[in-house]
Amino acid sequence: MLGLALLAAALLSVGVGSTEIPVGRALSALFGDGDPVERAILVELRLPRAILALAVGAMLGLSGAVLQGYLRNPLAEPSVLGTSNGAALGAVAALYFGLADLHPAMLPLLGISGALLSLILLLLLTRRSESALSIILAGIAVATLAGAGISLALNLSPNPFAAMEITSWLLGSLEDRSFRHVWLALPCLALGVLLLAGQGRALDALSLGEDAAASMGVDLRRMRLRLLLGLSVGVGGAVAVTGAIGFVGLIVPHLVRPYTDRSPSAILWPSAIAGAALLALADVAVRVIPSTNELKLGVVTAFLGVPVFLAHLLRERRLW
């Protein structure tokens, strides 16, 4: 079912937009025999947007599942460790100082750099501890510090247009993304997925407690380093290209968990697939909802996420 939902979301993401293109003409354009304008719309505008929606959604869904398993907290998501805020601060710095105008790659590169710096700070704060609680507290501190930096940039922005640009980026969007953004983000997303997806058995052992996991041969420090590095590189690359998109990593694991045996390893890949489908469908929604300006993707995921999450909690009447 998730595979079918993913396929449907991918097809809708490529086929739906402000310009209606019939299926036959769309296939002709994709294979090089159709109208060059329609081909440009499909290949240069919609296709990279669809690829980014699927890849970023998969990364956010997987990271939420990993964090909820590692921290044993059903409310955990990438922003808990300050990764999202760190990436956002790096990208805001590129916008504030005008570096984004020098080269299109500067915005995502500084976003990734911000995520890595937040990781380094988090590791420095927790280097003597293996406790998940210490990581949560340190992550909250890092996220608060990055959020303060973003607020300072907004407060000191030289003109209202700069503040508006920063605010618009923080809302999250896939509008006007090209294959340049795809090639910048995909290596980070692929590395993040590789580092996170292989930790299922270690997360299962950790669900029994840190002492039990250590007695079963799990190297807690090494696993933590791999998880934090995967989260920072993957989520940092995603946030740097799409802006801040929330709630995907929070609600997706809760949606798929009832259909598994509820072990951390069982929800990793389903969460990745569901996250990809959810974000792609949300991106389709921002294109078809009538409005003066195109809605921001982060706004739509927030409106979708809160009711779904609350309804799930009320139905289950438990947090885990």
Per-residue pLDDT for 103 more than 90?
no
The CATH code of the domain that includes 141 is 1.10.3470.10
State residue 231's pLDDT score.
85
Identify the burial level of 273 via C-beta atoms within 10 angstroms of its C-beta, where 0-12 means exposed, 13-18 middle and 19 or more buried: buried
Query: Which residue, among 86, 92, 79, has the nearest Cα to 155 in the 3D structure?
Result: 92
Q: Which residue range is the domain that position 241 belongs to?
A: 2-316
- Residue holding tokens 């719309």? 41
Beta carbons of 247 and 309 less than 8 angstroms apart: yes
Q: What is the dihedral of CA 136, 168, 299, 78, to 10 degrees?
A: -20
pLDDT mean across residues, the chain: 84
The pLDDT tens digits of the residues spanning 61-101 come to 999 999 888 888 777 788 777 888 888 898 888 888 888 77
Comparing 35-39, 49-53, 186-190, 216-220, which segment has the lowest mean pLDDT?
Answer: 35-39
The pLDDT tens digits of the residues spanning 125-148 come to 877 765 667 777 888 889 899 989
Dist. CA 58–CA 299, nearest whole Å? 19
pLDDT category, 316, cuts 50, 70, 90? low
- Would you list the DSSP string of 179-213? HHHHHHHHHHHHHHHHHHHTTHHHHHHHTT-HHHH
Dist. CA 107–CA 150, nearest whole Å? 15
Total of domains in the chain: 1
pLDDT category, 319, cuts 50, 70, 90? very low
- Residue holding tokens 């290949």? 43
Residues with Cβ within 8 Å of 105's Cβ and at least 6 positions away in sequence, in order, are 180, 184
State residue 320's pLDDT score.
46
The pLDDT tens digits of the residues spanning 300-312 come to 888 877 777 677 6
- For the chain, the distance separating the N- and C-terminal CA atoms, rounded to the nearest angstrom, is 23
Residues with Cβ within 8 Å of 275's Cβ and at least 6 positions away in sequence, in order, are 57, 58, 59, 60, 61, 62, 64, 248, 249, 252
The pLDDT tens digits of the residues spanning 7-58 come to 999 999 988 877 777 767 777 776 767 677 777 888 888 899 999 999 999 9
Residue 246 dihedral angles phi and psi, to the nearest 5°: -105, 170
pLDDT category, 313, cuts 50, 70, 90? low
Comparing 19-33, 176-190, 192-206, which segment has the lowest mean pLDDT?
Answer: 19-33
State residue 84's pLDDT score.
84
